[in-house]
Protein backbone atom coordinates (compact mmCIF):
# COMPACT_ATOMS: atom_id res chain seq x y z
CA UNK A 1 0.00 0.00 0.00
CA UNK A 2 1.35 3.45 -0.91
CA UNK A 3 1.34 5.73 2.13
CA UNK A 4 1.63 9.44 1.32
CA UNK A 5 2.11 12.12 3.92
CA UNK A 6 0.21 15.31 3.44
CA UNK A 7 2.01 18.62 3.83
CA UNK A 8 0.29 21.39 5.74
CA UNK A 9 1.17 25.01 4.95
CA UNK A 10 0.19 27.73 7.39
CA UNK A 11 0.08 31.18 5.83
CA UNK A 12 -1.33 34.52 6.92
CA UNK A 13 -2.90 37.24 4.81
CA UNK A 14 -0.84 40.40 4.24
CA UNK A 15 -1.48 43.23 6.70
CA UNK A 16 -2.67 46.47 5.07
CA UNK A 17 0.06 48.13 7.21
CA UNK A 18 2.89 46.12 5.63
CA UNK A 19 4.46 49.44 4.62
CA UNK A 20 5.33 49.98 8.31
CA UNK A 21 7.35 46.75 8.49
CA UNK A 22 10.69 46.29 10.22
CA UNK A 23 13.66 46.96 7.94
CA UNK A 24 17.31 46.19 8.64
CA UNK A 25 19.30 46.08 5.41
CA UNK A 26 16.95 47.79 2.97
CA UNK A 27 15.97 51.42 2.43
CA UNK A 28 12.25 51.97 3.00
CA UNK A 29 10.26 52.09 -0.24
CA UNK A 30 6.51 52.50 -0.64
CA UNK A 31 4.82 49.08 -0.63
CA UNK A 32 1.61 48.58 -2.58
CA UNK A 33 -0.33 46.46 -0.06
CA UNK A 34 -2.83 45.32 -2.68
CA UNK A 35 -0.11 44.15 -5.02
CA UNK A 36 1.61 42.43 -2.09
CA UNK A 37 -1.71 40.68 -1.32
CA UNK A 38 -2.09 39.59 -4.95
CA UNK A 39 1.48 38.24 -5.05
CA UNK A 40 0.88 36.46 -1.77
CA UNK A 41 -2.23 34.85 -3.28
CA UNK A 42 -0.13 33.53 -6.18
CA UNK A 43 2.38 32.16 -3.72
CA UNK A 44 -0.39 30.37 -1.83
CA UNK A 45 -1.74 28.98 -5.12
CA UNK A 46 1.72 27.66 -5.87
CA UNK A 47 1.85 25.88 -2.48
CA UNK A 48 -1.58 24.38 -3.08
CA UNK A 49 -0.52 23.30 -6.59
CA UNK A 50 2.41 21.42 -5.04
CA UNK A 51 0.01 19.51 -2.83
CA UNK A 52 0.04 21.51 0.41
CA UNK A 53 -3.13 21.72 2.46
CA UNK A 54 -3.41 25.45 3.15
CA UNK A 55 -4.38 26.81 6.57
CA UNK A 56 -4.77 30.53 5.93
CA UNK A 57 -4.81 32.68 9.05
CA UNK A 58 -6.75 35.94 8.90
CA UNK A 59 -4.72 39.14 8.59
CA UNK A 60 -3.52 40.83 11.77
CA UNK A 61 -4.11 44.37 10.53
CA UNK A 62 -2.05 46.03 13.27
CA UNK A 63 0.98 43.75 12.90
CA UNK A 64 2.80 44.93 9.75
CA UNK A 65 5.15 41.93 9.44
CA UNK A 66 2.63 39.23 10.34
CA UNK A 67 2.56 37.70 6.83
CA UNK A 68 6.07 36.38 7.56
CA UNK A 69 4.83 33.46 9.67
CA UNK A 70 8.07 31.52 9.31
CA UNK A 71 9.66 33.63 12.02
CA UNK A 72 7.09 32.71 14.68
CA UNK A 73 7.61 28.95 14.95
CA UNK A 74 9.81 25.99 14.15
CA UNK A 75 7.81 22.85 13.38
CA UNK A 76 9.49 19.46 13.67
CA UNK A 77 7.82 16.06 13.53
CA UNK A 78 8.14 15.69 17.31
CA UNK A 79 7.10 19.16 18.50
CA UNK A 80 6.61 22.78 17.48
CA UNK A 81 8.65 25.51 19.12
CA UNK A 82 6.96 28.89 19.31
CA UNK A 83 9.71 31.45 18.95
CA UNK A 84 10.33 34.76 20.66
CA UNK A 85 11.09 37.06 17.69
CA UNK A 86 14.07 39.35 18.04
CA UNK A 87 12.08 42.43 16.98
CA UNK A 88 9.74 43.39 19.85
CA UNK A 89 7.13 44.63 17.35
CA UNK A 90 6.80 41.06 16.07
CA UNK A 91 6.27 39.24 19.38
CA UNK A 92 2.45 39.57 19.35
CA UNK A 93 2.43 37.54 16.12
CA UNK A 94 3.17 34.28 17.93
CA UNK A 95 -0.08 33.85 19.88
CA UNK A 96 -2.33 33.12 16.91
CA UNK A 97 0.30 30.88 15.32
CA UNK A 98 0.53 28.86 18.54
CA UNK A 99 -3.25 28.39 18.40
CA UNK A 100 -3.05 27.27 14.79
CA UNK A 101 -0.29 24.74 15.54
CA UNK A 102 -1.84 23.28 18.68
CA UNK A 103 -3.99 20.70 16.84
CA UNK A 104 -0.89 19.38 15.04
CA UNK A 105 1.96 19.28 17.56
CA UNK A 106 2.94 19.48 21.20
CA UNK A 107 4.09 23.06 21.79
CA UNK A 108 7.24 24.37 23.46
CA UNK A 109 8.27 28.00 23.81
CA UNK A 110 11.41 30.13 23.59
CA UNK A 111 11.48 32.20 26.81
CA UNK A 112 13.25 35.45 27.78
CA UNK A 113 16.10 36.27 27.57
CA UNK A 114 16.15 34.02 24.50
CA UNK A 115 15.22 35.39 21.10
CA UNK A 116 14.85 33.40 17.92
CA UNK A 117 13.38 34.08 14.48
CA UNK A 118 12.38 30.99 12.49
CA UNK A 119 14.13 32.55 9.49
CA UNK A 120 17.41 31.89 11.28
CA UNK A 121 16.89 28.15 11.46
CA UNK A 122 17.89 25.80 8.65
CA UNK A 123 16.65 22.24 9.15
CA UNK A 124 18.45 19.64 7.04
CA UNK A 125 18.18 16.04 8.16
CA UNK A 126 18.81 15.80 11.91
CA UNK A 127 20.86 19.02 12.00
CA UNK A 128 19.38 22.38 12.92
CA UNK A 129 21.73 25.21 11.98
CA UNK A 130 20.83 28.50 13.66
CA UNK A 131 22.15 31.90 12.61
CA UNK A 132 23.46 34.12 15.35
CA UNK A 133 21.90 37.24 13.86
CA UNK A 134 20.51 40.56 14.95
CA UNK A 135 17.31 38.62 15.77
CA UNK A 136 18.42 35.29 17.29
CA UNK A 137 20.72 35.24 20.30
CA UNK A 138 22.87 32.68 22.07
CA UNK A 139 20.25 32.12 24.80
CA UNK A 140 17.68 31.30 22.10
CA UNK A 141 20.08 28.83 20.51
CA UNK A 142 20.78 27.17 23.88
CA UNK A 143 17.05 26.82 24.58
CA UNK A 144 16.53 25.22 21.16
CA UNK A 145 19.37 22.82 21.88
CA UNK A 146 17.80 21.72 25.17
CA UNK A 147 14.39 21.28 23.53
CA UNK A 148 15.43 19.24 20.51
CA UNK A 149 18.53 17.25 21.52
CA UNK A 150 16.40 14.66 23.36
CA UNK A 151 14.88 13.81 19.94
CA UNK A 152 18.26 13.23 18.34
CA UNK A 153 18.75 16.58 16.60
CA UNK A 154 22.09 18.36 16.63
CA UNK A 155 22.03 22.17 16.95
CA UNK A 156 24.83 24.25 15.42
CA UNK A 157 25.07 28.01 15.97
CA UNK A 158 26.67 29.96 13.12
CA UNK A 159 27.68 33.63 12.87
CA UNK A 160 26.23 35.73 10.05
CA UNK A 161 27.43 38.93 8.43
CA UNK A 162 25.55 41.31 6.18
CA UNK A 163 22.07 39.77 6.04
CA UNK A 164 18.89 39.59 8.11
CA UNK A 165 18.49 35.86 8.72
CA UNK A 166 20.41 32.63 8.11
CA UNK A 167 17.90 31.73 5.41
CA UNK A 168 18.69 35.00 3.60
CA UNK A 169 22.13 33.42 3.12
CA UNK A 170 21.45 29.70 2.69
CA UNK A 171 18.47 27.41 2.04
CA UNK A 172 17.94 23.79 1.12
CA UNK A 173 17.11 23.14 -2.55
CA UNK A 174 17.32 19.31 -2.60
CA UNK A 175 17.84 16.63 0.01
CA UNK A 176 21.61 16.91 -0.34
CA UNK A 177 21.98 20.45 -1.76
CA UNK A 178 22.04 23.98 -0.41
CA UNK A 179 21.86 27.31 -2.23
CA UNK A 180 24.28 29.73 -0.58
CA UNK A 181 25.74 33.22 -0.55
CA UNK A 182 29.16 32.62 1.01
CA UNK A 183 29.73 36.35 1.53
CA UNK A 184 27.22 36.10 4.39
CA UNK A 185 27.77 32.66 5.90
CA UNK A 186 30.72 30.26 5.95
CA UNK A 187 29.82 27.26 3.78
CA UNK A 188 32.36 25.00 5.47
CA UNK A 189 29.99 24.17 8.34
CA UNK A 190 27.61 22.34 5.98
CA UNK A 191 29.63 19.13 5.85
CA UNK A 192 28.35 16.42 3.53
CA UNK A 193 26.01 18.71 1.56
CA UNK A 194 26.61 20.01 -1.97
CA UNK A 195 26.62 23.79 -2.27
CA UNK A 196 25.31 25.87 -5.18
CA UNK A 197 26.53 29.46 -5.09
CA UNK A 198 24.20 32.33 -5.94
CA UNK A 199 25.23 34.33 -8.99
CA UNK A 200 27.55 37.13 -7.76
CA UNK A 201 25.21 39.71 -9.34
CA UNK A 202 22.29 38.38 -7.27
CA UNK A 203 23.40 38.48 -3.61
CA UNK A 204 19.80 38.24 -2.32
CA UNK A 205 19.10 35.08 -4.33
CA UNK A 206 19.78 32.38 -1.70
CA UNK A 207 16.25 32.25 -0.29
CA UNK A 208 14.43 29.36 -1.99
CA UNK A 209 11.59 27.20 -0.67
CA UNK A 210 11.77 23.45 -1.21
CA UNK A 211 8.33 21.79 -1.24
CA UNK A 212 8.40 18.09 -2.01
CA UNK A 213 10.82 17.89 -4.93
CA UNK A 214 10.19 21.40 -6.29
CA UNK A 215 11.73 24.73 -5.40
CA UNK A 216 9.52 27.82 -5.22
CA UNK A 217 11.76 30.67 -6.27
CA UNK A 218 11.51 34.47 -6.77
CA UNK A 219 11.28 35.63 -10.38
CA UNK A 220 13.84 38.36 -9.62
CA UNK A 221 16.90 36.08 -9.82
CA UNK A 222 17.10 34.54 -13.32
CA UNK A 223 20.87 33.96 -13.24
CA UNK A 224 20.76 31.92 -10.04
CA UNK A 225 17.62 30.17 -11.27
CA UNK A 226 19.65 28.95 -14.24
CA UNK A 227 22.24 27.53 -11.84
CA UNK A 228 19.50 25.63 -10.00
CA UNK A 229 18.09 24.23 -13.22
CA UNK A 230 21.55 23.22 -14.43
CA UNK A 231 21.89 21.25 -11.18
CA UNK A 232 18.74 19.31 -12.14
CA UNK A 233 16.40 21.10 -9.74
CA UNK A 234 12.78 21.68 -10.72
CA UNK A 235 11.93 25.36 -10.15
CA UNK A 236 8.61 27.23 -10.06
CA UNK A 237 8.97 30.98 -10.06
CA UNK A 238 6.72 33.42 -8.22
CA UNK A 239 6.71 37.20 -8.36
CA UNK A 240 7.20 38.34 -4.76
CA UNK A 241 8.81 41.69 -5.55
CA UNK A 242 6.44 43.68 -3.31
CA UNK A 243 7.02 41.38 -0.32
CA UNK A 244 10.77 41.65 -0.97
CA UNK A 245 10.53 45.41 -0.24
CA UNK A 246 9.59 44.35 3.31
CA UNK A 247 12.75 42.19 3.41
CA UNK A 248 10.72 39.00 3.04
CA UNK A 249 11.45 36.06 0.79
CA UNK A 250 9.74 32.83 -0.19
CA UNK A 251 10.54 30.81 2.94
CA UNK A 252 9.22 33.56 5.24
CA UNK A 253 5.59 33.40 4.11
CA UNK A 254 4.72 29.89 5.26
CA UNK A 255 5.22 27.22 7.89
CA UNK A 256 5.29 23.87 6.12
CA UNK A 257 5.22 20.54 7.92
CA UNK A 258 4.06 16.97 7.61
CA UNK A 259 0.61 16.04 8.81
CA UNK A 260 1.33 13.05 11.06
C1 LIG B 1 11.38 41.71 9.48
O2 LIG B 1 12.32 42.52 9.42
O3 LIG B 1 11.20 41.01 10.47
C4 LIG B 1 10.44 41.60 8.30
N5 LIG B 1 10.30 42.90 7.69
C6 LIG B 1 10.96 40.60 7.30
C7 LIG B 1 11.00 39.21 7.85
C8 LIG B 1 11.38 38.22 6.83
N9 LIG B 1 11.39 36.92 7.39
C10 LIG B 1 12.23 35.96 7.06
O11 LIG B 1 13.15 36.18 6.28
N12 LIG B 1 12.12 34.80 7.65
Does residue 132 have a pLDDT over 90?
yes
In a domain, 148, yes or no: yes
Q: How many domains does the chain have?
A: 1
In a domain, 13, yes or no: yes
Using CA atoms, how far apart are residues 229 and 227, in angstroms rounded to an integer?
A: 5
Give the atom of ligand 1 at the shortest distance from the alpha carbon of 71: 12
Question: What local confidence, expressed as pLDDT, does residue 156 receive?
Answer: 98
- Give the 3-state DSSP-derived string for 93-149, with helices as H, strands as E and coil as C: HHHHHHHHHCCCCCEEECCCCCCCCHHHEEEECCEEEEEECCCCCHHHHHHHHHHHH
The answer to whether residues 60 and 69 touch, using CB atoms and an 8 Å cutoff, is no
pLDDT digits (tens, 9 = 90+) for 189-198: 999 999 999 9
In a domain, 2, yes or no: no
Q: Is 163 a catalytic residue?
A: no
Does residue 39 have a pLDDT over 90?
yes
Residue whose CA is at the smallest distance from ligand 1 atom 2: 22
Q: How confident is the model at residue 1 (pLDDT cuts 50, 70, 90)?
A: low
Average confidence (pLDDT) over 106-116: 98
Q: Which residues contact 37 (CB under 8 A, 6 or more apart)?
A: 13, 14
In a domain, 170, yes or no: yes
Q: Is 25 a catalytic residue?
A: no
* Residue span of the structural domain in which 247 resides: 7-258
Percentage of the chain beyond pLDDT 70 is 98
Percentage of the chain beyond pLDDT 90 is 98
Residue whose CA is at the smallest distance from ligand 1 atom 7: 248
Give the atom of ligand 1 at the shortest distance from the alpha carbon of 120: 12
Q: Which residues contact 7 (CB under 8 A, 6 or more apart)?
A: 50, 51, 52, 53, 211, 212, 256, 257, 258, 259
pLDDT digits (tens, 9 = 90+) for 47-91: 999 999 999 999 999 999 999 999 999 999 999 999 999 999 999
pLDDT digits (tens, 9 = 90+) for 144-179: 999 999 999 999 999 999 999 999 999 999 999 999
Q: How confident is the model at residue 3 (pLDDT cuts 50, 70, 90)?
A: low
In a domain, 1, yes or no: no
In a domain, 104, yes or no: yes
Q: pTM for the full model? A: 0.97
CATH number at residue 188: 3.75.10.10
In a domain, 101, yes or no: yes
Amino acid sequence: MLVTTRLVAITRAVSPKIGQCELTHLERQAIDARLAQAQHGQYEACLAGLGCELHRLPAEPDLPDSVFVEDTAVVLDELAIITRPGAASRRPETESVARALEPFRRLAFVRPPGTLDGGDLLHAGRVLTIGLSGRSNQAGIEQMRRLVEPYGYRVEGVPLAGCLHLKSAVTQVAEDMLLINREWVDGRIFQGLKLIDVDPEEPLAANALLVGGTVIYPADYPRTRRRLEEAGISVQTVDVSELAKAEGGVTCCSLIFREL
